[in-house]
C-alpha cells in the first residue's frame, strides 16, 4: 500500500468511526507534503529506452531468436527502435520473443483467412471477431465486438473464427 493510500485510508477510517476528521490538519499536511514530493520528482522523458552510440542492445529476430547488437545509429538501429524492437537487456528481449512470435502467428493466420479484409473501427454495425489466449485454460478463445481493439488483429467473417481458433490451439499444443 502506498503512502497516499495509507493517508486516504486513515482519513476514511476516521470519518467512519467518528463522523469527522479528528486529525484533519495532520492529513492535510501529509497530502501537501506528498504533493510537493510529486512535484519535485522528475518524470522520465520517455518510457521507451533508446541506446546511445556504442551501447549494447538486444532485439528479437523474425525467427524469435534474441540477438545482441551495438548501437551505431545506422538505419537498421533506428528502424528497430521505431518498431519497438530494442531492449536494454537480453532478459527483456527473451521475455518479448514469445509475445512477438505469438502476435505474428495470429497476424499471419488472420490475413491468410481474410486477405482482403477491411476493418472499419468507426462502423459499429461491422462486427469484429478477435481472439485472445486464456492462460488459465491454455486455449485460444474468441469474442466479438464492434469498436474495441484488444491487441490481436480481428476477423470480419464469423465463418473464419473457428478455423482460426483450431489452428492457434493446434500450434499452441505443438509449441507446448
pLDDT per residue as tens digits for the range 8-28:
677 667 766 766 555 666 666
Query: Grid coordinates representing 175?
Result: 509449441
Q: Are residues 128 and 167 in the same domain?
A: yes
Same domain, 80 and 18: no
170 and 105: one domain?
Answer: yes
Mean pLDDT in residue range 26-51: 70
Question: Are 148 and 105 members of one domain?
Answer: yes
DSSP code for 7: H
Which residues 6+ apart lie within 8 Å of 59 measured at CB?
Answer: 66, 67, 69, 80, 85, 86, 87, 93
Mean pLDDT, the chain, integer: 87
Decide if 87 contacts 57 (C-beta within 8 A): yes
14 lies in which domain range? 3-39
Evaluate whether residue 94 is within a structural domain.
no
Residue 106's CB is within 10 A of a number of other CB atoms, namely 22
Reply yes or no on whether the pLDDT at 43 is more than 60. Answer: no
CA atoms within 13 A on the CB side of 132: 12
pLDDT one-digit tens code per residue, 141-157: 999 999 999 899 999 99
Same domain, 65 and 123: no
Please report the pLDDT score of residue 75 as a whole number. 93
Q: Do both 82 and 113 map to the same domain?
A: no
Q: Is residue 112 part of a domain?
A: yes
**Which stretches within 19-149 are classed as H helix?**
24-39, 75-82, 90-113
Residue 47 lies in a domain: no
Q: Is there a single domain that holds both residue 116 and residue 164?
A: yes
Residue 48 maps to a domain: no
pLDDT of residue 5: 73
Task: Please state the domain count of the chain.
Answer: 3
Is 161 part of a structural domain of the chain?
yes
**pLDDT on residue 143:** 94
Query: Is 50 part of any domain?
Result: no
134 lies in the same domain as 68: no
Across 24-40, average pLDDT: 67
The model's confidence at residue 176, banded by pLDDT at 50, 70 and 90, is: confident
| pLDDT average, residue stretch 58-81 | 94
**Same domain flag for 70 and 125:** no
φ/ψ of 150, rounded to 5, equals -95, 0
Residue 50 has pLDDT above 60, yes or no: yes
Angle at 142 (CA atoms; ends 136, 146), nearest 5 degrees: 135
pLDDT tens, position by position, 115-142: 999 999 999 999 999 999 999 999 999 9
Amino acid at each position: 500500500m502506498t503512502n497516499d493510500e495509507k493517508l486516504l485510508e486513515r482519513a476514511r477510517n476516521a470519518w467512519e468511526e467518528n463522523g469527522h476528521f479528528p486529525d484533519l490538519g495532520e492529513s492535510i499536511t501529509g497530502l501537501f507534503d506528498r504533493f510537493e514530493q510529486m512535484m519535485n520528482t522528475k518524470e522520465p522523458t520517455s518510457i521507451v529506452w533508446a541506446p546511445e552510440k556504442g551501447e549494447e542492445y538486444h532485439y528479437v529476430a523474425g525467427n524469435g531468436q534474441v540477438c545482441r547488437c551495438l548501437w551505431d545509429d545506422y538505419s537498421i538501429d533506428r528502424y528497430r527502435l521505431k518498431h519497438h524492437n530494442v531492449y536494454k537487456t537480453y532478459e527483456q528481449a527473451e521475455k518479448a520473443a514469445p509475445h512477438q512470435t505469438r502476435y505474428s502467428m495470429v497476424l499471419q493466420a488472420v490475413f491468410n483467412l481474410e486477405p482482403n479484409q477491411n476493418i472499419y473501427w468507426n462502423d459499429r454495425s461491422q462486427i469484429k471477431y478477435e481472439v485472445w489466449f486464456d492462460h488459465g485454460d491454455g486455449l485460444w478463445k474468441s469474442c466479438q465486438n464492434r469498436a474495441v481493439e484488444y491487441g490481436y488483429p480481428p476477423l470480419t467473417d464469423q465463418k473464419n473464427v473457428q478455423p482460426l481458433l483450431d489452428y492457434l490451439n493446434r500450434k499452441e499444443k505443438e509449441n507446448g
